[in-house]
Structure 1
């Protein structure tokens, strides 16, 4: 056989061998998924501590935001999707409705589908209470935006005058609150200062209650 026929045949065998070993993008995996509940900008995802991906909220607030990292990974490579920066006014994490797939090995499943969920931040509403004595029990405070009520214990009244309090049910960002006296204490009439407002990113600590003898 002529050598000029052997060489092309050998090159063809080598090409077929390389093709059978893979190495193209078809043999790699895209780290992808979706985020639900995203309402505010600023969310930055990260894969394996190196690839950053910034996501914006959808036009329709009820839609999920699909994402995929630009760099594909090899079969058997471990991926780890984390949240580098939380969005404004929200906290995001694993979607509780599905298995936590933020970290896994490429190829264990046919596709990579990381599911995340974002929730509006909440914070406490509270302040100080002054003017109560051990005989003035029975005060009940409530917030008009939810059903949480607060009744100071006798120990709290004894411990300090004035004393700190927080309503038990936290208020979501952007929601209005209105603290009122649901039940007046024995022998006292209480009024609320700075009773209303709109919840921001931090706890409210200036809804003060002043009680005077009747």
Structure 2
């Protein structure tokens, strides 16, 4: 049987170090990362508490309300950017989802593993080719690279999420020609974007 002085000592230790005994005020932060969100309107909650607004292109978040070491956490998306709802409600690929958003806060360390992954609707980025051109015309937008067929009058680049920036450029021109892109950068809208690429022969 535990002696009274020993029990009193344990109680005192708990009083001085509440986190070690699973009690006391909150002392664990709940935080994580955000990816794929290019629009305002994303709002998160933890345990159905105060709303945390996430700005467009914000890559991380931390709830200001701490969680007790003996409590659970449950991060949810309660509002999403207005373009995350798919035109086909059965399509599960579009929206903002929480990954690893629930668990116990019993660990001594802060929780940093929550991920909010957004897949927004995308729209067409078209390069319209003006003037005849030979082989060797290549266009790029970020990591997207397209080789243009000499007979092509337009090229579809990879779709761009609404609110994301784009910057189409001519990587190489056909031999003996100069090709330039006009008004080639901006922010994607629901109308899509068309960039004129003009090729000339000196």
TM-score, normalising length: structure 1: 0.44
TM-score, normalising length: structure 2: 0.46
